[in-house]
Amino acid sequence: MPDAALSLETLGQWIATIDPRAQRITWCTQALAASLPQWRAGGSLADLASGFRGLGELLAQAGESGRAEAVLTGPDGHPLSAQAATDAQGQLHLRLADLRSDQQAAARHLNDREQLLLLSRSLSVGEMASTLAHELNQPIGALTNLLRGLLIRIDRGNLDPASVRPAVQRGVEHALYAAGIITRVRDYVQHRQPKAETIALRGLVDDAISLLDWEIQRDGISVAVREGPGAQAAVVRGDRVLQQQVLVNLARNAIEAMRSVARPDRQLEILIGVDEDNATLGIADRGPGIDESAAARMFTPFFTTKPGGMGVGLHVCRSIIELQQGRLWFTPRDEGPGCTFWVSLPRATEATELAA
Ligand code: ADP
Dump pLDDT digits (tens) for 321-353. Answer: 988 889 999 999 878 899 999 999 999 976 666
Task: For ligand 1, atom 23, name the residue with the nearest CA.
Answer: 254
Give the CA distances from residue 6 to residues 11, 326, 356, in Å, rounded to whole numbers and listed in that order: 9, 40, 50
Q: Name which residue leads in pLDDT, 102 or 1.
A: 102
Question: Is residue 259 within 8 Å of 219, Cβ to Cβ?
Answer: yes
What is the model's pLDDT at position 127?
A: 59
Q: In a mutational test of the pocket of ligand 1, which residue from 250, 304, 321 has the highest number of ligand atoms less than 8 Å from its CB? A: 304
Measured CA angle at 10 (ends 6, 12), to 5 deg: 115
Q: Is the CB of 257 under 6 A from ligand 1?
A: yes
Centroid of ligand 1 to alpha carbon of 295 (angstroms): 10
Q: How many other CB atoms sit within 10 Å of the CB of residue 107?
A: 10
Tell me if 94 sits within 8 A of 15, measured CB to CB. yes
pLDDT at residue 78 greater than cutoff 80: no
CATH of domain 2-98: 3.30.450.20
Q: What are the tens digits of pLDDT across the range 89-148?
A: 889 999 998 877 666 665 555 555 555 555 555 555 565 566 567 667 767 887 888 899
Pick the closest to residue 328 from 291, 285, 281, 296 (CA basis): 281
Taking the CA of residue 331 as centre, how many other CA atoms within 13 Å lie in the half-sphere pointing to its CB? 7
- What architecture is the 194-356 domain classified under in CATH? 2-Layer Sandwich (3.30)
H helices, E strands: number in the chain: 12, 12
- Verify whether ligand 1 is closer than 6 Å to residue 306 (CB atom): yes
Instruction: Sketch the domain layout of the chain as residue ranges.
Output: 2-98, 108-193, 194-356
- Phi, psi of 186, deg, nearest 5: -65, -45
CA distance 62 to 350: 42
Q: What is the mean pLDDT of the chain?
A: 83
- Identify the pLDDT of residue 266: 97
How many residues comprise the chain?
356
- What is the identity of the amino acid at 180? G
Across the strands, what pairs with 281?
272, 343
- How far is residue 111's CA from residue 351's CA, in Å, rounded to a whole number? 29
3-state secondary structure of 266: coil
98/80 Cα distance (integer angstroms): 5
List, for residues 166-178, the tens digit of each pLDDT value.
Answer: 888 878 877 887 7
Distance separating the N- and C-terminal Cα atoms of the chain: 55
Check residue 124 and give its pLDDT: 58
Residue 327: partners with Cβ closer than 8 Å, 6 or more residues away: 321, 342, 343, 344
Three-state secondary structure of 155-187: HHCCCCHHHHHHHHHHHHHHHHHHHHHHHHHHH
Model confidence at 262, pLDDT cuts 50, 70, 90, reads: very high
The long-range contacts involving 98-101, CB below 8 angstroms and separated by at least 24 positions, are 98/14, 98/35, 98/74, 99/71
Cβ 283 under 6 angstroms from ligand 1: no
pLDDT digits (tens, 9 = 90+) for 191-214: 555 678 899 999 999 988 877 777
Beta-bridge partners for 332: 339
CA angle 212, 321, 191 (to 5 degrees): 60
Residues 12-66: pLDDT tens digits?
A: 788 999 999 999 999 999 888 888 888 999 999 888 877 888 899 999 989 888 8
Mean pLDDT of 233-237: 94
pTM, to two decimals? 0.56
pLDDT at 130: 62
122 lines ligand 1 (CB under 6 A): no
Kindly give the number of the ligand 1 atom that is closest to the alpha carbon of 303: 10
Helix (H/G/I), strand (E/B), else coil: 45: helix
CA–centroid distance, residue 219 to ligand 1 (Å): 17
